[in-house]
Amino acid sequence: MSSPITILGSGVAGLCVAAELSGAGHAVTVIDPHLAPGAHGCSWWAGGMLAPDCEGEVAEEPVVRLGRDAADWWQGKGAQVTRNGSVVVALDRDRRQLDRFARQTENHQTLDRAALEALEPQLADRFDRALFMTQEAHINPRETLLGLHARLADAGVQFVKDGTPQGQVIDCRGLAARDALPDLRGVKGEMVILSAPDVTLSRPVRLIHPRFPLYIVPRGDGVFMLGATQIESGERSRATVRSIMELLNAAYALHPAFGEAEVLEIGVDARPAFPDNLPRIGRIGDRLYVNGLFRHGFLLAPAMARMVGAMVRHGDQPEVWHEDHS
Amino acid sequence: MPNFYGTEVASRLMLGTAQYPSPAILADAFRRSGAGIATVSVRREAGGDRAGQDFWALIKELGVAVLPNTAGCHSAREAITTAHMARELFDTPWIKLEVIGHADTLQPDPFGLIEAARALTDDGFQVFPYCTEDLVLCERLLEAGCEVLMPWGAPIGTGLGLNNIYGLRSLRAHYPDVPMVIDAGLGLPSQAAQAIEMGFDAVLLNTAVAKAGDPAMMAESFALAVQAGALAHAADPMEPRDMAAPSTPVLGKAFL
């Protein structure tokens, strides 16, 4: 048995690091006041898209590259990963934006109406052109977090509410670690979960829109997640009428069947981000910090966990190493 | 260089702070643009307990003057409330006043604009109204106490450039001494150069830079364009004419 490890936080970052180190034979304890993943952590409100190519439209290169192996990692940990790509569409007046999106991203095919009909028949009524991002995948974030939590507990990882940390401490507390990481900020996101039995989308769909960009992720059984706003605010509550109206409007523009959907849930939280919106691993005193996964928690946590594993076991310096947090 | 309410600004370029891929890229864009003023929206970000303060702290660290705006306000009352919040947050009397009158085109509401401009100048604000190039509206804004005008080039975020050259020339000619900033609608550096060549004091951009593939590079290209425009304006450009005039005299031909 290798040296003990204490992880703070049972969000997506904490659980992935726990999985990597527990798998390598360390005795791992996870401290989280809530014991298990849940509504208190922002990964609970994630979309669950494993979409490195789409994210590459805005995100910098490391996000795309580090995110490439996420689907394999999650699958290897027993998560149910749906690997059927994703679709990007734009309303008629924004057609040129779709060309631009294609220029800025990789691994896609352009679909005409017939090809779109074969993939997502409901979209073919409304769109005569789309991009099919062939390499992308999606998961249900809540089932994935709870599943990983259960498997880790079975494998002997201890989950405790509090206690004195033993051995190497790895802080994965997200925004709660702002006390130690002054340049960490919150970026507010609002999302909606709908039950829309008349909608048959089988893969994530992104709507490019100059004002109200939207993605819709199928969760199975006619349930869909609509996301997400991105507001420069650390506020973790208060979904506004304006934001929710924008999300619902965009969904309705994507397909009118969303008009009859039932609103199951409205969620809001803030993503932890550093000024470059890229993730970091760093050390303050004896404590390691893994943070700043921004809107890429499920996409980047596996790569972050691997880097932490290689560092703890072999002393390898991670590429996202950040020397001085102060 | 432009002078707004007694403050001289070292650049004819002003940049908005929304929609960048990250605050770090935003800061890069500012460095390479040499922009002297940053506009920042407060309405949606404010939330409870000044939840936007981390982002605003990053803006303050840019080391440029901050011009808070009332983006997203659809009535005079809403804009006035937001202006007060902005004055408290940024400790400045400056406010870029936006009152949106039309949801699709984001066209300014001239009536709400005058109402809000009057109330805010009475209250000690120094108002930068986002307006159209309408001469009568601009006259009323000046009467309401505005000492700067910010006519649009085209609707916000469209990148269409200067849509009404005649109207903008006419506005510039009527009020040669009022500082004027072309706000909104610029997509390319050539359009910014054109505005400055025409004698406008500055341009304000956001989307054209923030949504470029390389925002910092685009910011620098706008800085160079604005510099070119200012040199051209100062150099007293030739007047266009219909008849061709060869730059090298053609000898041995009779006058036509």
> Is B63 buried (19+), middle (13-18) or exposed (0-12) by CB count in 10 A?
exposed
Give the residues of chain B that fall short of pLDDT 50.
Answer: none
Note whether B52 contacts A278, CB cutoff 8 Å: no
The full set of domain ranges for chain A reads 2-67+139-182+275-322, 86-134+185-273
Give the residues of chain A that fall short of pLDDT 50.
Answer: 325
CA distance A122 to A74: 29
Residue A174: φ, ψ to 5°:
60, -140
Selected residues 157-216 of chain B with any CB under 8 Å from a CB in chain A: 157, 213
Instruction: Name the CATH superfamily, with its identifier, for domain A2-67+139-182+275-322.
Output: FAD/NAD(P)-binding domain (3.50.50.60)
**A99 — contact with chain B (CB < 8 Å)?**
no
Q: Give pLDDT, residue A131.
A: 97
Q: Give pLDDT, residue A245.
A: 93
The CA-atom distances, in angstroms, between B68 and each of A21, A184, B144 are 48, 23, 20
Instruction: Name the CATH superfamily, with its identifier, for domain A86-134+185-273.
Output: D-Amino Acid Oxidase, subunit A, domain 2 (3.30.9.10)
pLDDT in tens, A231-255: 988 888 889 998 999 999 999 989 9
Where does B10-235 sit in CATH, by number? 3.20.20.70
pLDDT in tens, B57-109: 888 888 899 999 999 899 999 999 999 999 988 889 999 999 999 988 889 99
**A104 — contact with chain B (CB < 8 Å)?**
yes
Residue-by-residue DSSP string for B132-186: -S-HHHHHHHHHTT-S-BEE-SSSTT-----S-HHHHHHHHHH-TTS-BEEES--
Q: Give pLDDT, residue A1.
A: 54
CA distance B243 to B255: 13
Count other C-beta atoms under 10 Å from residue A219's C-beta: 20
For residue A179, list chain B residues with Cβ-Cβ distance below 8 A: none
B60: annotated active-site residue: no
Count other C-beta atoms under 10 Å from residue B139's C-beta: 14
**B45 — contact with chain A (CB < 8 Å)?**
yes
**A58 — contact with chain B (CB < 8 Å)?**
yes
Q: What is the pTM of this model?
A: 0.87
For residue B89, list chain A residues with Cβ-Cβ distance below 8 A: none
For residue B22, list chain A residues with Cβ-Cβ distance below 8 A: 60, 273, 275-278
